[in-house]
Structure 1
Amino acid sequence: MRNRIYSRFMLNYNVIAVSNIAKQLSRMCSNGNLVNVAKKAAAYRAVNEHVKDNQRIGIGSGSTIVFAVERLHQRVQEEQLNVTCVPTSYQARELITSHGLVLEDLDMNPVLDVVIDGADEFDDDLTLIKGGGGCLTQEKIVAASGKELIIITDGSKKSKLLGEHWKKGIPIEVIPMARVPVAQKIQAMYGGEAVLRMAKSKAGPVVTDNGNFIIDWKFEKAAKWGLVHSNIKLIPGVVETGLFVEMARCIYVGNSDGTVERIAKHD
């Protein structure tokens, strides 16, 4: 009798446990789908409004850019657009070629008509933190080569002040031998914590497409980011920072219901 009661209890317990896990997975999948709906809406609208025939286009990196390239491919097929694409990373290069788009580089096209990219966070001044994926230097080079930089994000990247939602810090690409002195100098100048980014699928640090390391500086408070960027760039061994100051023309923020908010400095 006691064994039957115990067995029945364990059966009910397992059914409840499996049910709870299923509910959690359902919520996770639902949240992921909603984020993708937001990213896709922002990417599609940006491509629809800023891409024109005979343009040279900079293609950014990250998960939202996947949808931008998808829409660009659709428009090229449907409208017979003649466009060339310059990538910011290996990922962007693969996206361009896998969609059958024309791939070129800054040697052939040093001036781009438009650059479309994502961001890890942006504030009310449209200052961006970029480089969560490790491509900040190439992203900034391509962005600076464009006549306009268009950013596409979901609502989680929108903050009043930098650091409000993005807690991983400002990425700083450094020459490997300079990683320790650079980290120490940044902490001495501005406080916070500057940490070498470690890889997740291999032993050792993350290595950028340029063969460098990345320091993630977890700052303590908002600052005059243009000045901070300039001062950090003066430290020997610093290649680039993930601060994009006064570079974005406008930002398309996708919502989970498919609507899109367009934010620009003059709005």
Structure 2
Amino acid sequence: MPADLSAIDKAKFVAALRAVDHVESGMKLGLGTGSTAAWMVRCLAERIRDEGLRVVGVPTSIRTAELAQSLGVPITTLDEAGWLDLTIDGADEFDPELNLIKGGGAALLREKIVATASDQMIVIADAAKQVAQLGAFPLPVEVIPFGWKATQAQIEEMLVSMDVLARDVRLRRAGDDPVLTDQSNYILDLHLRRIGNPRQLSLVLNQIPGVVENGLFIDICDKVVIGHGDGRVQVRDVNSSEIEEEYVEFKPTDNIFADLDE
């Protein structure tokens, strides 16, 4: 990997490197989307190259598919794979019960479909993503473009009866234009500051016409691998109160990470 990385990138790298240790030959994998997941795809590609690891991946976005293909990671579709052994993905937030907010990269729909079609989901994250209660990160909600303002109004009305601290709903834009997902939908970001009952909110959101899916991942994540800038890695399992901790050594090498120096 590159020698000159920021502390946050080192944290993402060691988390990705540790998570990829869970991958075994013959597995069908869900490949997440986002900056941390990109580290995972690179670590996976290195194992394929150096160890002859035999896997096939189902990407959760077009950009993950393009990265995987460029690095020699075999990919397929979820329909072809049928069912997955493991999904490795990032998260925007996770709480003590390993509930997540995802969708900062606008791939939440595919990410949730892939994660729930897997025997296990491992989340990789830097320590800043750990929160006592979800909601500081805006909650993404994917909606169809037709009548999106009416959908937004119904979401705002529904939030009045929810246990949240704020109720600011905004259309995500790239400049003047709405951000489009890979399904050509829009994203509404719900700035709630605190979500008192994530399970209830998730269920109610998905009952609103026009809502395709929301970024609350409840009872989906099995394990979180938390990276730190000093190379320390903590592993938390949803079924255990114990936290594993170790240090991951990494050295500068001339390999598939070299382009990250550019």
TM-score (norm 2): 0.85
Q: Deviations over 1:25-55 (max 9, x none)?
A: xxxxx8x71000000000000001x100100
Q: What is the deviation of 1:181?
A: 1.7
Q: Is 1:112 aligned to 2:81, yes or no? A: no
User: Quick one: distance in 2 between partners of 1:256 and 1:135?
Assistant: 26
Q: What is the deviation of 1:188?
A: 1.4
- The partner residue of 1:188 within 154, 157, 180 is 157
Q: Which amino acid is the alignment partner of residue 24 of structure 2?
A: K
Q: What is the deviation of 1:221?
A: 3.0
Q: Deviations over 1:132-176 (max 9, x none)?
A: 110000111111111101000101111011124x2xx10000011
User: Quick one: distance in 1 between partners of 2:31 and 2:147?
Assistant: 30
User: Unaligned regions of 5+ residues in structure 1, if any?
Assistant: 1-29
Q: Between Structure 1 and Structure 2, whose CA radius of gyration is higher?
A: 1
Q: Which amino acid is the alignment partner of residue 177 of structure 1?
A: F
User: Is the contact between residue 56 and residue 113 of structure 1 (CA under 8 Å) also seen in structure 2?
Assistant: yes
Secondary structure of the corresponding residue to residue 176 of structure 1: coil
Structural mapping, 1:1-267, within 5 Å: 33-48=6-21, 50-164=22-136, 166=137, 169-191=138-160, 192-200=167-175, 203-265=176-238, 266-267=240-241
Higher relative contact order (CA 8 A, sep 6+): 2
User: Quick one: distance in 1 between partners of 2:186 and 2:12?
Assistant: 29
Secondary structure of the corresponding residue to residue 107 of structure 1: helix
Structure 1 residues 216 and 51, CA gap change in structure 2 (3 angstroms): same
User: Quick one: distance in 2 between partners of 1:222 and 1:116?
Assistant: 25
Question: Which residue pairs with 2:245 in the alignment?
Answer: none
Identity %: 39
User: Is the contact between residue 190 and residue 219 of structure 1 (CA under 8 Å) also seen in structure 2?
Assistant: no
User: Quick one: distance in 1 between partners of 2:193 and 2:8?
Assistant: 28
User: Quick one: distance in 2 between partners of 1:161 and 1:221?
Assistant: 7
Q: Which has the higher helix share?
A: 1
User: Is the contact between residue 176 and residue 213 of structure 1 (CA under 8 Å) also seen in structure 2?
Assistant: yes
User: Quick one: distance in 1 between partners of 2:59 and 2:193?
Assistant: 33
* Structure 1 runs (4+) greater than 6 angstroms displaced: none
Secondary structure of the corresponding residue to residue 67 of structure 1: helix
TM-score (norm 1): 0.84
Q: Deviations over 1:167-213 (max 9, x none)?
A: xx10000011232122112221224011111113xx31101110110
Secondary structure of the corresponding residue to residue 134 of structure 1: coil
Q: What is the deviation of 1:220?
A: 4.7
User: Quick one: distance in 1 between partners of 2:67 and 2:57?
Assistant: 10
Question: Which residue pairs with 2:252 in the alignment?
Answer: none
Secondary structure of the corresponding residue to residue 257 of structure 1: coil
User: Is the contact between residue 84 and residue 104 of structure 1 (CA under 8 Å) also seen in structure 2?
Assistant: yes
User: Quick one: distance in 2 between partners of 1:198 and 1:72?
Assistant: 32
Q: Which amino acid is the alignment partner of residue 76 of structure 2?
A: E
User: Quick one: distance in 2 between partners of 1:175 and 1:222?
Assistant: 24
User: Unaligned regions of 5+ residues in structure 2, if any?
Assistant: 161-166, 242-262
User: Quick one: distance in 2 between partners of 1:190 and 1:259?
Assistant: 39
User: Quick one: distance in 1 between partners of 2:144 and 2:52?
Assistant: 43
Q: Deviations over 1:48-95 (max 9, x none)?
A: 1x1001000110000011211111111112221111011000111011
Q: What is the deviation of 1:101?
A: 1.3
User: Quick one: distance in 1 between partners of 2:178 and 2:154?
Assistant: 20
